[in-house]
Structure 1
């Protein structure tokens, strides 16, 4: 069914026609639902460790496999979205994710079985690379920052999993969370197939997927934006995964208290992502990002002192949540401005993969540092230095790339 051309014209004059709003809502819901599925194993890590008699390394591997696959899978999925469109890709990926969800809920009963299921569960983490080019195509440049920030808040699907998986399993049985997520995925796939529409005039790239991925890698800002997103989103993921253990070990908090404080961190970071996009609609993205990484640098240095939680430590962690959330939204506002539309999906795949992988390594580094020195402060110093490097890169190299892009356009 073709879109009304008058409606297509309204996109650029008013920014939010009915189809654009519908596209944003459906993409955000789809992102949240598939991320909910993607994060199902993480809350069950401790339970599975006891049931399967796993070592700490095996438990970490079990939780990490979906993260790695979901992150790397964004690269081909983003390139396919450029070619096939979100109307095909969103329902397809949602339905394919149902299979590992049901397998994990009903058939996996060993470490090998959970690793295989977790590998394919990684599909749920690839939808970020579908939604960004889709939302990007429906909104004009001056409104893309907020729109992409709202879409990015769908990463709160991981919080849904964190809040509900263990509780649902305890209340209704271990299979129930998986069955519920499978049903939700099927319902979303049906709704997306019926209601989702790609922009009729969206640019469709030519050439093979490998050719387009190679072209994305040659895009001047792709690797730079990948590093910036690895610091911002990777920092968010790392804190959401490791903060409960850190608070329990460093401050002696009970598990429940540490989990609730971590949930507050996650919710604040998710809420600030649209704010980062909105700020980049109002002000140039380069100064927004530079200030954001400067804030992360200062707050990480403050956290390194392990000051009392009330109030300084809490301020440091909540400040980090806000800054990292703003940073994730601002980076993709910059992607929308510096990458030509036909390559947004492929570049999003690369940048999104870097963000996911960026969250994988910091917990390992923190664990090694604590194991050697019995102290977390060096890890926070490394975060501060990395954020400072990201700020310097933004203020110099990326600023020059943005200036060249404005001159060329």
Structure 2
């Protein structure tokens, strides 16, 4: 799962089509996501088994990263509008590289929380930067550009976990894996530097302008209601990567399920992009219903039933393939072009706060044993059902 600027976003060097910009942003996305998902697919197992942390502590670390990242999007979305997407993207990637480096060497809760904070700040800056660039191209290319952008993410999700598994099998183990992720984010920073300059400096960031941008979005009641009803979407997209290892599935089974999920999601992208189909309300509702089904299938599993796990992976892949582009296309259509960063910030803030609170609660439920785990997963599926029923505009 960016919204508009208080000053015009960085102009594209080839404005007639935006093709060059789209290609470069998609390349950045692939490099960054390859590093991210190669680590995240194995992070829970590392924290749980290598470092011996309780499930509740694992949930705390994951929740801090997600919650802080999305909390920061409330102001950072507007800051991106003021600083310019290119400059913001470089800073984001440098911070993410540093965060993964710290994650590789941390062996205590304090160090892990520090790495989570740095990763959160970098992620908060990255998403508005990348998606603001895509939102700035013409409507005809915007849907296809975002489909390619999300498709790159899903391809990296397919490739990342096996790459991570290979790196884990080598001598340094998780240290090498985290270092490789840091290298990929460094490459992304360099690619942001290679994006064309706008030829004029962005306006100086003023605190009052940031507040004004946020206030104007909060005054848009239709959009705020949409943001609140779609708040569970980040949890629905990401929690399967936490739930599967905690249910006791082997790293190989978890890696296979994540790869299937990503492949299905990537296959759904052309369907959503065609004819700007993602702007239609039924696409988002169908995606949310598939998410609900995912967690209802996972709820009774104990780590030995590979068949149902693959069914859940397919359902979650369909959900991700429909929900992410549907939310982007509807937000980009509704938000004024000059304020996309601010709108995205409010949307992502709601999703992040919900995900943070839910991760903390779900981690504690998993610590209660199989009954708690089942209750947690049924609860996540129920959130998806409520969102599907309540979602309206914008």
What is the CA deviation profile of residues 205-232 of structure 1, one whole-angstrom value per residue up to 9, with x for unaligned ones? 9852122122222222433332354333
Change (3 A) 1:150 1:74: farther
What is the CA deviation profile of residues 46-98 of structure 1, one whole-angstrom value per residue up to 9, with x for unaligned ones? 43555555333333333433323322233333212211221211112212333
Instruction: Give the match for residue 14 of structure 1.
Output: none
Give the Å deviation of 1:363. Answer: 5.0
Structure whose CA Rg is larger: 1
Instruction: Give the match for residue 7 of structure 2.
Output: none
What is the CA deviation profile of residues 234-291 of structure 1, one whole-angstrom value per residue up to 9, with x for unaligned ones? 2010112212333x3xxxx54422432233224423543x346415614752232233
1:120 aligns with 2:118: yes
Instruction: Give the match for residue 239 of structure 1.
Output: 240
Unaligned runs of 5+ in 2: 1-9
Instruction: Give the match for residue 286 of structure 1.
Output: 281
1:388 aligns with 2:389: no
Instruction: Give the match for residue 83 of structure 2.
Output: 84
Instruction: Give the match for residue 320 of structure 2.
Output: 324
SS in 1 for 2:136: helix
SS in 1 for 2:323: helix
Distance in 2 (alpha carbons) for counterparts of 1:91 and 1:46: 30
Distance in 2 (alpha carbons) for counterparts of 1:283 and 1:38: 26
Instruction: Give the match for residue 92 of structure 2.
Output: 93
Q: Which has the higher contact order (CA 8 A, sep 6+)?
A: 2
SS in 1 for 2:333: helix
Instruction: Give the match for residue 181 of structure 2.
Output: 181
Give the Å deviation of 1:345. Answer: 0.6
1:134 aligns with 2:133: yes
1:374 aligns with 2:371: yes
Root mean square deviation of aligned Cα: 3.8
SS in 2 for 1:152: helix
Instruction: Give the match for residue 108 of structure 2.
Output: 110
Distance in 2 (alpha carbons) for counterparts of 1:279 and 1:339: 21
SS in 1 for 2:221: coil
Distance in 2 (alpha carbons) for counterparts of 1:176 and 1:119: 21
Instruction: Give the match for residue 147 of structure 1.
Output: 145
Change (3 A) 1:280 1:81: farther
Instruction: Give the match for residue 72 of structure 1.
Output: 71
TM-score, normalised to structure 2's length?
A: 0.79
Give the Å deviation of 1:130. Answer: 1.3
Change (3 A) 1:73 1:363: closer
SS in 2 for 1:374: helix
Give the Å deviation of 1:171. Answer: 1.4
Distance in 2 (alpha carbons) for counterparts of 1:256 and 1:339: 42
Aligned length: 378
Instruction: Give the match for residue 5 of structure 2.
Output: none
Distance in 2 (alpha carbons) for counterparts of 1:145 and 1:316: 27
Distance in 1 (alpha carbons) for counterparts of 2:225 and 2:72: 20
TM-score, normalised to structure 1's length?
A: 0.76
Matches within 5 A, 1:189-268: 189-197=189-197, 208-246=209-247, 248=248, 253-268=249-264
Structure 1 stretch displaced more, 150-159 or 226-235: 150-159
Unaligned runs of 5+ in 1: 11-16, 403-409
Change (3 A) 1:222 1:37: farther
Distance in 1 (alpha carbons) for counterparts of 2:176 and 2:374: 41
Instruction: Give the match for residue 29 of structure 2.
Output: 31
Distance in 1 (alpha carbons) for counterparts of 2:333 and 2:204: 18
Distance in 2 (alpha carbons) for counterparts of 1:135 and 1:199: 19
Contact 2:279 2:326 in 1 (8 A): no
Instruction: Give the match for residue 3 of structure 2.
Output: none
Change (3 A) 1:381 1:139: same
